[in-house]
Amino acid sequence: MSVNYTSDPAAVDDLARKYSELKGEIGKVVIGQQETVRDVLIAIFSQGHGLLVGVPGLAKTLLVNTISQVLGLKYNRIQFTPDLMPSDILGTEILDENRKFRFIQGPVFSNIILADEINRTPPKTQAALLEAMQEHAVTVAGQRYPLDEPFFVLATQNPIEQEGTYPLPEAQLDRFMMNIWLDYPSFEEELRVVKNTTTEKSVKPNIVLSKEEIIFFQNLVRKIPVPDPVFEYAVKLTTRTRPGSKEAHALSNEFLSWGAGPRASQSLILGAKCHAALNGKYSPDIADVKAIAKPVLRHRLVRNFKAEAEGLRTDDIIEKLL
């Protein structure tokens, strides 16, 4: 199926329309969490990956499952455990009946991967998934196997239990475009959740987009023009987070031990382009950069002891830098 539009602005209009449809279909199953849904969809259309952080029971798995259904994509969930090996994710070679080696694909060969509790598995296995995220391909026994497009990884972490976990190093956290924070639902939302999930009726969302359309819209987001002041604002915002540098903000020098790298600037621009397109705008402005700054920056800033002692959250620091 080919995707044809008379012009790029017409395609942006359709993307904004499809985004409203997507929100409607996802909202049939996932109640509330609108900002989370927005951030996950921005990460998908920007060809990035997401790290979902939230306590258990906040419908992380349901959210990813529902998004894969409305996008008509193949979905796999990998439960990360301390004894999980790289071959359990990527796949392995077996000797078949003709005494020839045959590659059996692992669960990573899918469009949307939910890497559940990624910090419960040793670094060797984490690294195997992160290579697949970066390269969109896996290498097994010297042979390279490309992954199906579109390919999107949503990893989850539980912020409470830290015993027996292997925290992702900063360099690996940087590969995630967004760190999406999942909060408790409001009283009204939780009431609706309980009413909807304790009866026999089940809701099935409709497919809104095809694979070809998703790939088309991913390329469309890349083509969106960005004015120079927006580029400058995004890069300036990133450089202000780097303590000890010439452009550093006084807050960064006081409360951060490490700032964001150039990948953050790239993610801010891509995220702003996508945020603009989803809202029917043909070019992003500074407000679009501000709208996605927190999920893009919060996992890239490392607070120092003073910030932790004073109970200053990363989001508070970003808020003051905007």
Does residue 201 sit within a domain?
yes
Enumerate residue ranges in the chain where pLDDT < 70. Answer: 1-2, 160-164
Residues 168 and 243 in one domain: no
Residues 200 and 247 in one domain: no
**The last residue of a domain, from among 179, 212, 245:** 212
Does residue 89 sit within a domain?
yes
Question: Exposed/middle/buried for 61, CB within 10 Å: 0-12, 13-18, 19+?
Answer: middle
Question: Exposed/middle/buried for 13, CB within 10 Å: 0-12, 13-18, 19+?
Answer: middle
Q: What is the model's pLDDT at position 273?
A: 92
Does residue 133 sit within a domain?
yes
Residues 18 and 68 in one domain: yes
Residues 24 and 120 in one domain: yes
Does residue 2 sit within a domain?
no
Question: Per the structure, how many domains does the chain have?
Answer: 2
Residues 38 and 113 in one domain: yes
87 vs 80: CA distance, rounded Å? 13
Mean pLDDT of the chain: 86
**Does the global pTM surpass 0.95?**
no
Does residue 219 sit within a domain?
no
Q: CATH no. for residue 311?
A: 1.10.8.80
Q: CATH no. for residue 207?
A: 3.40.50.300
Residue type, 15: L
Residue 160 region, left (φ>0) first, then alpha (ψ -120 to 50), else beta? alpha
**The last residue of a domain, from among 166, 183, 212:** 212
Residues 163 and 301 in one domain: no
Residues 118-135: pLDDT tens digits? 888 888 888 888 888 888
Residues 144 and 264 in one domain: no
Does residue 37 sit within a domain?
yes
Residues 128 and 262 in one domain: no
Residues 204 and 251 in one domain: no
Residues 236 and 197 in one domain: no
Domain that holds residue 81: 8-212
Residues 79 and 110 in one domain: yes
| Helix %, strand %, coil % of the chain (to 5) | 50, 15, 40
**The last residue of a domain, from among 178, 212, 246:** 212
Residues 82 and 191 in one domain: yes
Does residue 190 sit within a domain?
yes
Does residue 259 sit within a domain?
yes
Q: What is the model's pLDDT at position 57?
A: 77
How does strand 143-146 pair with strand 256-258? unpaired
Per-residue burial over 229-256, b if 16 or more Cβ lie within 10 Å, else e, is ebbebbbebbbbbbbeeeebbebbeebb
